[in-house]
Amino acid sequence: MTLLKNWSSIITFTSGAVVMFLMRQIKYSTIYETLKEKIYNWKNNNYNISELPNPNWIKIGKVKELHIHPLASGDRTKCSKLKFTPYGAITKQKGLILQDKMFHIYDEKTKQFQNTHTRTAIQLVRADMLSESHVQFSLADYKVTIDLDKEIRDNRKIVRELKTSWIEIKYIDCGEEVAKWLNNTLCTSTLRIVRVEYDIIDEPIMEKDMMKKNTDDEAWLNISPGIIQEKRVSSSAKIFGNFLWIVHYWRRKCK
């Protein structure tokens, strides 16, 4: 029993060093080359997906109409041009910038965003920019106009917040007036209209030089599980994997 405990201690304190030694000494070229290829393809937007058909483009017709949905799942707005940004597609309406899905309908009771699957009538609700700060929401003859800047400035309320490694998304409530109009129009009581705000924290990780940034061994090991997806692994990589499994097994056995 004492021997097993000693072995457990030795493995616990030396397994990390052994792993690093093996990564450097026991023919890890396959893993290294795989990582290098994946990162290169991602950075150059040249990543081939085997499940897709032949990627060669062929002409199948002409685009007859472009449109966006300023209100997610709401009525669409026709446009002649579209510009694609990190925040989504944008266009201009009477000289004013209009962004795709810049508004969402949110149920404050269920804490869920609404769409045509949950409420079919949403597809009839329309959002139009009347000025740089004034927005008109309408459904048939029922309309309401709000000063968006004033509502957000005076009653700033974040109903949801999402954060990734490079962007922060906030859903800001658009105020009581438009919420009352929406609930009266759709015969509900818990719906809110929210505006999407984006805040770029950092550029996407795929646009960075990961090979230079992750030079230390710890970071290298951290990114490897999500990148290595090859079906074929060399015998040296298999030996390395078997060794890690044995270490893990003995650590559990000796506890």
User: Span 61-65, mean pLDDT?
Assistant: 85
Domain ranges of the chain: 66-200
DSSP 8-state class, residue 71: B
For residue 145, pLDDT over 50 is answered with yes
The interaxial angle of helices 235-253 and 2-25, nearest 10 deg, is 160
User: Span 184-190, mean pLDDT?
Assistant: 91
Residue 132: the pLDDT is 85
CB atoms within 10 A of CB 106: 22
Please state the pTM of the whole predicted model: 0.56
What whole-number percentage of the chain has pLDDT above 90?
19
* CA atoms of 146 and 135, how far apart (whole Å): 6
- Cα–Cα distance list, 182 to 145, 160, 185 (Å): 12, 19, 5
- Cα–Cα distance list, 208 to 42, 43, 47, 74, 166 (Å): 10, 8, 16, 36, 11
User: Span 81-85, mean pLDDT?
Assistant: 85
State the Cα torsion 7-8-9-14 to the nearest 10°: 80
- Cα–Cα distance list, 57 to 45, 48, 60 (Å): 16, 15, 9
Q: In terms of DSSP bridges, do strands 77-79 and 66-68 run parallel, antiparallel, or are they unpaired?
A: antiparallel
For residue 202, pLDDT over 60 is answered with no
CB atoms within 10 A of CB 202: 11
Mean pLDDT estimate for the chain: 71
Residue 173: the pLDDT is 92
Residue 52: the pLDDT is 61
Residue 13: the pLDDT is 46
Of the listed ranges 20-29, 162-171, 197-206, 242-251, the least confidently predicted one is 242-251
* CA atoms of 181 and 239, how far apart (whole Å): 66
Amino acid identity for residue 39 in this structure: I
Give the three-class secondary structure for 59: coil
Residue 220: the pLDDT is 32
Q: Are 226 and 39 in contact (CB under 8 A)?
A: no
Residue 156: the pLDDT is 83
